[in-house]
A and B are shown apart, each in its own frame.
Chain A
Amino acid sequence: MLEIIRQPWPWYVAGAVIGLTVPALLLLGNKHLGISSSLRHICSACVPSKIPFFKYDWKREAWNLFFVAGILIGGIVGTRFLSNPDPIVVAPATVKDLEALNIQVDHNLLPASLFSVNNVLSLKGLMFFIVGGFLVGFGTRYAGGCTSGHSIMGLSTLQWPSLVATCCFMLGGFAMVHLLLPWIMSFVS
């Protein structure tokens, strides 16, 4: 049994569990899936700075912070006790593309050549941690949600603004990978 759990889980298992989070949250207490909101609650709790957008009772929304704390714990459990002993399998075409960009495909979930602690204070770190993270935080709030709030919760409740947002998430991602990433890699490496 543990052998099976340790293997990478297929997409339909992951998709089903993630999809079931929507009714689980609704039925446990009328909560709406949306993970980027946690970033806003952290701002509200720690650095509201008299900005109206952050002036609200974040404690009422604290369930969201418990949920993301759970995700972090889940990351620990999934990696410590259930991790796949074999190296990650990456599509050969992607490996080829990444090698052309000077990104070494290694055995971890994230390439160490980009995401190691040593890179934090380099140009690579500036792009992949600071600029990337800033775009995620700024973009999701401006968009009114992220992959969970728009693409899963929003599409599940058939909201067309969420469909617009999801298409634009994808468009942004395609633009980064195909147009900007080659250019970024040319000056950070």
Chain B
Amino acid sequence: MKNQEEEILVAPLHPPHPVECEAPNDQIKAENLIVSNLKYLALGTLFGIVLVKAEVISWYRIQEMFRLHSFHMYGVIGTAVVVGAVSVWLIKKFRIKTLQKETVVFHEKKFHWGNVFGALLFGLGWALTGACPGPIYAQIGSGFFAVTVTLLAAIAGTWTYGLLRERLPH
């Protein structure tokens, strides 16, 4: 009961997130479900074009990566991390605000054993399908309609995790 009261007190400032949501929405200002979200559709489109054009969605590129036959994927991920890290550093350093003039929120990730076991399982699936979740959507858009089955299986996998969550070591 105590917890619930606390949640209600905090709610006006920080509306509740999904339990441990790893990609949370930290905007305080209310958003229109469609209009406010169109900018993310646009950004996603650019992201998807890049995934296709740099062949990140290619099963062969993933095979090359895990066979250490090509630098390409290491270059893509490495550059993304460096550019992302410098951007985050700049945001923190100059206290850059969001479009809504809100302070950018960062969350500390807490280690749990899923970071090992879950990650190993995902690695196996990544090498089989040649896709992490982002490229799955881009592969379907690219005309590989059979990958819709992969997406459905991935949704089923996530659902199964939700079902078994309490019984898995964390």
Contact = CB atoms under 8 A, between A and B. Distances in A.
B144 A115 contact: yes
B53 interface: yes
Main secondary structure of the interface of B (DSSP, over half): helix
A35 B52 CA distance: 16
B93 interface: no
B55 to A, nearest CB: 5
Nearest to B30: A60
Given A78-B48, A139-B125, A145-B22, A69 B41 contact: yes
Interface string A103-123: 001000111001111011000
B158 A67 contact: no
Contacts of B114: 142-144
Contact of A134 (B26, B41, B84, B125): B125
Q: Which of the four size classes fits the interface of chain B?
A: 35 or more
B16 A78 contact: no
Contact of B137 (A20, A28, A71): A71
Given A10-B54, A135-B124, A28 B39 contact: yes
A166 B126 CA distance: 12
B54 A143 contact: no
29 contacts: A9-B53, A12-B79, A19-B87, A21-B43, A21-B84, A27-B98, A30-B102, A30-B105, A51-B159, A56-B18, A61-B17, A63-B36, A70-B41, A74-B46, A74-B138, A76-B142, A79-B142, A94-B70, A98-B60, A109-B144, A110-B130, A132-B129, A136-B157, A137-B158, A137-B159, A141-B161, A141-B162, A165-B115, A168-B120
